[in-house]
Structure 1
Amino acid sequence: MARQIFFDRTGGPEVLRMREVPVTAPGEGEARIKVDAIGVNRADAMFRENRYFYPPNLPSGLGYEAAGVVEALGPGVTEVAVGDSVAVLPTFTLTAYGTYGDHVILPAVALVPRPHDSDPVTEAAAWMAYVTAYGALVEGDPVAKGEHVLLTAATGGVGLAAVQVANRIGAVPIATTRTPAKKQRLLDAGAAHVIVTGEESLTERVLDITDGRGVTTAMDPVGGPGIAEVIGAVSSGGRLLAYGLLDPRNDPSQGLPAVPGIDLSLYTLFPVTGDPERRRNAIDFVAAGLADGAFTPVVDRTFDFGDFTEAHRHMESSAQFGKIVLTVRH
């Protein structure tokens, strides 16, 4: 039997439960992995609460990220072999697959080979965050060397990954945090400038830093009323990528405001991970950064697999700096 974390009603962390399910064989194009570590994401919480951009089918599993070892292959799989150490890159919906289990079946195209001696906690914390940052800052309309990038709520996994990606491509990362407690940690993590939004005007500080020009690209996971200040910090002809809408006051049916001269769009990594060529390019970029040390995932805290409710409560406290990871003992 395998253990799986699931929920049969939507709500807070208390709706999560664990159950035993049969270990089944993977189907066409699938692989089964023995999971060693699981990345916990804000997307998981929003999905659990029915605030994600698609609803759950109850009862539902969850989870986009993991690291482990391939233990069985379905027909037609050539991407990986049994015994390979792999990480999981989100290429799927949570209504079809999930990583919150000790043995899980996933699409083989979602598996990224990793060195056998790599740390599964680090790998479970890496791929969703760095590929999200890659798609926003590097692919398509890349941020040019020397350009300023605004990263709001930057103490999460994606924000910290985006700081490192911006530095790798020669951009200038401006990070925000609500309180001064995390300011020095953001500077130590590579942010060129840190704005404490609870104490200073985001728009005014960005304009001061950029000599009145504003940033060419902003990444914002929050939305809500505060997005007006972010918009004010973006230069004419610039873009704001909203990738989370974490503020519960967001009304997805209303979409994003229209601002002349600024491109505002909802952004996810799935157009990147869903296209084979774009996915390969993203994997190559992130793997190179992990290999040479330019990318070092920041892990805030690990929790035992059985402490999944506590892990989700910690995430919702917004006290973390970096990724939260569940570790699985077999």
Structure 2
Amino acid sequence: MRAALVREFGGPEVLREEEVPLPAPGEGEVLIELEAAGVNRADALTRSGRYHAAGQPPIVPGFEGSGVVRQTGASVTDVGVGDRVFAFGGRPGFYAEYAAVHEGRVVRMPDGLGWDAAAALPVAPLTAFYCLRRLARVEPGETVLVWAAASGVGDVAVQLAKAAGATVIATAGSDEKLDWALGNGADHGVNHSGESVVDRVLELTGGAGAEVVLDTVGGARFGESLKAAGHGGRVVALANVALEESVIDTRDFYPKNVAIYGFQVTNLMQRLGYDPREDLAELASAVVAGDLKVHVDRTFPLREAAGAHRHLEGRLNRGKVMLHPGERG
């Protein structure tokens, strides 16, 4: 089969389409012929060697995808050949024509759910859902600050926070992205490239601060998140795409009784027993019902995986970037 392979860590140019062995489904696994695969920040970090769980090359990136079950291994009971599914955590990775995935990481697609929307659910929407619903427990009337609101996670977070009855303050690095986030439902916007996010949040909340802060950036922004949180606020840190240390002053959060949550989905599943299939099924149903929109910014054929990474790392996207493994272009 064809796959986008990383043979040495580096820039987008190290992603090359090659022939690799077709994986055989093992005990409890299914073989999925992939129609779509999500492109995420973690993929770019994997390619560059900066992802904490990347392993060593050769590597086929990709944490999520959708397609049709073509073969099942022994003891598979939840899905069958011909089922339309979306999945996460497959091997060798979802930047490929096929992936073998344990059935515990496979969810049937409801009628009306498209390939791209389905493939996009396991990383960004699930992250936003878990952080806001399970950790921060957003309540009606609260103010939620969403960093990088035009990103994959930020896009969904704005929608989920609004659906929960919250007032949403969105940040973005350009006026164009800010306009997009406001069009997506955010109530207020802050261009974090030129404005003080903390000052703007305090101004908008009458000095009270935000009840919930979703920090999708990390680095120096984490310290700002703590300052922007109000008394009894909840700050959820889920990434460090800034790839820099966070220098904080404990006086910015402990006197306000601010709670800090960390989120990393792989650790949550592998070490803490989280099974996301029920949450993913709820997200899929919300998309079909029209209550949640998965905005796909751009799609690329598999052979242009390097271009997809350049697009993502250039911060050109508003919403998700996708690969279509079967598309020859």
TM-score (norm 1): 0.90
Amino acid at match of 1:216: E
Segment of structure 1 superposing worse, 49-58 or 266-275:
266-275
The one-letter code of the counterpart of 1:301 is R
Partners of 1:34 and 1:68 within 8 A in 2: yes
Greater Cα shift, 202-211 or 222-231: 222-231
2:265 to 245, 265, 269: 269
Identity percentage over the alignment?
34
Q: Is the 8 A contact 2:136 2:236 kept in 1?
A: no
- Report the Cα distance in structure 1 between the residues aligned to 2:6 and 2:202, rounded to whole angstroms: 45
Amino acid at match of 1:12: G
- Which of these residues, 131, 135, 154, is aligned with residue 136 of structure 1? 131
Alignment deviations for residues 88-118 of structure 1 (CA, whole Å, 9 cap, x no partner): 2x3x4x8x64111001111111111113553
Provide the C-alpha distance between the structure 1 equivalents of 2:249 and 2:3, rounded to a whole number of angstroms: 40
Asked if 2 retains the 8 angstrom alpha-carbon contact of 1:135 and 1:272, the reply is no
Offset of 1:306 from its aligned partner?
0.9
**Gap runs ≥5 in structure 1:** none
Q: For residues 198 and 217 of structure 2, what CA distance do their matches in structure 1 show? A: 16
- 2:116 pairs with 1:121: yes
With 99-108 and 18-27 compared, the bigger mean Cα shift is at 18-27
- 1:98 aligned onto 2:93: yes
Letter of the structure 1 residue corresponding to residue 75 of structure 2: G
Unaligned 5+ runs, structure 2: none
**Which stretch has the larger CA shift, 300-309 or 49-58?**
49-58
Given the alignment of the two structures, is residue 109 of structure 1 paired with residue 104 of structure 2, yes or no? Answer: yes
2:285 matched residue in structure 1: 288
Task: Determine which of 149, 152, 155 is the counterpart of 2:147.
Answer: 152
CA distance in 1, matches of 2:55, 2:268: 23
Mapping for residues 1-330 of structure 1, pairs under 5 Å: 2-88=1-87, 90=88, 92=89, 97-115=92-110, 118-250=113-245, 258=250, 259-260=253-254, 261-270=257-266, 273=269, 278-329=275-326
Q: Distance in 1 between matches of 2:151 and 2:185?
A: 14
Query: Which residue identity lines up with residue 264 of structure 2 in the other structure?
Result: T
**Matched residue of 1:47: which SS?**
helix
1-structure distance, mates of 2:117, 2:284: 12
SS state of the match for residue 25, structure 1?
A: coil
Corresponding residue pairs, total: 322
Deviations along 1:214-246, one digit per CA (max 9) or x if unpaired, are 112211122122332222101132222221201
Q: Distance in 2 between matches of 1:199 and 1:149?
A: 21
**Any conservation in 1 of the 2:113–2:288 contact (CA below 8 Å)?**
no
How far 1:269 sits from its partner (Å)? Answer: 2.6
How far apart are residue 188 of structure 1 and its match? Answer: 0.9
Check 1:5–1:257 CA distance in 2 against 1; reply closer, same or farther (3 A cut): farther
Give 1:291 deviation, angstroms: 2.2
| Kept in 2: contact 1:85–1:116 (CA 8 A) | no
- Deviation, structure 1 residue 17: 1.9
| TM-score (structure 2 length as normaliser) | 0.91
